[in-house]
Amino acid sequence: MNFDSLLWVLLLGSLLGLELIGKVPPTLHTPLMSGANAISGITMLAALTAIIKAEPNSPLLIIGSISLGFALFNVVGGFFVTDRMLAMFSRKPIKKNK
């Protein structure tokens, strides 16, 4: 992959991000932040690549594995916690008098 095409990817990705989040109701700011935070754990792909490309018995395996653990903590925890928040917004039937 050429460096200049990667730069294009960076530029277009940034522009896309600016557009996507243009209008958000304040209600969703915390869940959105939490969800975006989970997505930032995509750095797990870099950790995976490092582990796969590491020489046998290289300390890189351990570093990569720890990095992967941190990233997945972020990703899995982030998505679950976002879901917990959003689950509360789902319209429940209003409880009538007992």
Partner 1 sequence: MNLPDIIKFVIDLLAVLLLALGIKGLSKVRSAREANILAAFAMLLSVIGLLFYYLRTEGIRTQSWAWIIVGTLVGSLFGTLLAKKVPMTSMPETVALFNGFGGMSSLLVAMGAFIYPFNEGVKAGSLESFINDVSISISIFVGAITFSGSIVAMAKLQGWLSTPGWTQLKARHFVNIVFGITSLIAFIYLISGNNGSPLWLLVLASTLLGIGVTLPIGGADMPVVISLLNSYSGIAAAAAGFVVKSQLLIVAGAMVGAAGLILTQVMCKGMNRSLISVLFGGSLSAQTTSSSGSGEYTNITSCSVEECALTLEAANRVIVVPGYGLAVAQAQHTLREVTKKLEQNGIEVVYAIHPVAGRMPGHMNVLLAEADVPYEQLKEMDVVNPEFPATDVVLVLGANDVVNPQAKNDKSSPLYGMPVLDVQEARTVFVIKRGMSAGYSGIKNDLFDLPNTSMVFGDAKKVLSELIGELKDLGVGDK
Q: How far is the CB of 16 from partner 1 (least distance, A)?
A: 6
Q: How far is the CB of 63 from partner 1 (least distance, A)?
A: 4
Using alpha carbons only, what angle is made at residue 83 by residues 33 and 69, rounded to the nearest 5 degrees? 75
Q: How far is the CB of 93 from partner 1 (least distance, A)?
A: 9
CA Rg, the chain, in Å?
19
